[in-house]
Amino acid sequence: MEHVISGVAKFQEEVFPGKKATFAKLANGQSPEVLFITCADSRIDPNLVTQTGPGDLFICRNAGNIVPPHSNQTGGMTASIEFAVAALGVSHIVVCGHTDCGAMKGALNPQGLDALPHVKEWLGHCRVATEVVKERCGELNHSHLDEVTRENVVQQLQHLRTHPAVAAKIATGQVKLHGWVYDIEKGEILCFDEASQSFNPMDEVYAKQQLASA
């Protein structure tokens, strides 16, 4: 905890003075372009990976970068998505999974989560992903972790489309969905391509295509 506290002091003394104008502007409101949904894993830093700053991303984090399908039962994710899309007017939504995800390990072995009942119930939202991979590969084991991680991102994108605010903006071309998987060891981002139903490395060509279609 000591390094966290000293970090606050360093921010106040060394970082904040050089960004006063930015924070003065942000003090009166926000207008992020991107809703970034990712895992709560401590190894994931959305602003570091995307090289963005305060006010650029509206970030939602939870175990497994899960988007529960829309229902009449209000939850934190449902409310946050609705606020980001309908109130803040974000134009892009990224669902970003990552390698070595503990939540995906749990989804692969739900029997091992009996001592964590809330985690087990939450990861029920990943069941479609595990069932899809199981259908393709047969009996699941740890070797299928990467496949389940990617399929989970695809299925959470599907869940996003069930949210009325998101569906309305997609229908009118005001919101674009993106599925990413971040490779922690390589620093690489794999991006879901809807046409080929595959994940491909983010490169200059991909970036230009995304900017052209934005």
- The two beta strands, 176-183 and 57-62, are unpaired
Residues 25 and 68 in one domain: no
Query: Does 39 belong to an annotated binding site?
Result: yes
Which secondary structure element, helix H or strand E, spans residue 192, and what is its range?
A: strand 188-193
Question: Residues of the chain whose pLDDT is less than 50?
Answer: none
Query: Does 41 belong to an annotated binding site?
Result: yes
> Which tens digits make up the pLDDT trace of 169-194?
999 999 999 999 999 999 999 999 99
Residues 170 and 78 in one domain: yes
- Which CATH number do you get for residue 161? 3.40.1050.10
> Which tens digits make up the pLDDT trace of 37-71?
999 999 999 999 999 999 999 999 999 999 999 99
Residues 25 and 97 in one domain: no
pTM: 0.93
CB-based contacts of 162: which residues, under 8 Å, 6+ apart? Answer: 69, 70
d(CA 199, CA 214): 19
Number of domains in the chain: 2
Residues 22 and 58 in one domain: no
Query: Does 126 belong to an annotated binding site?
Result: no
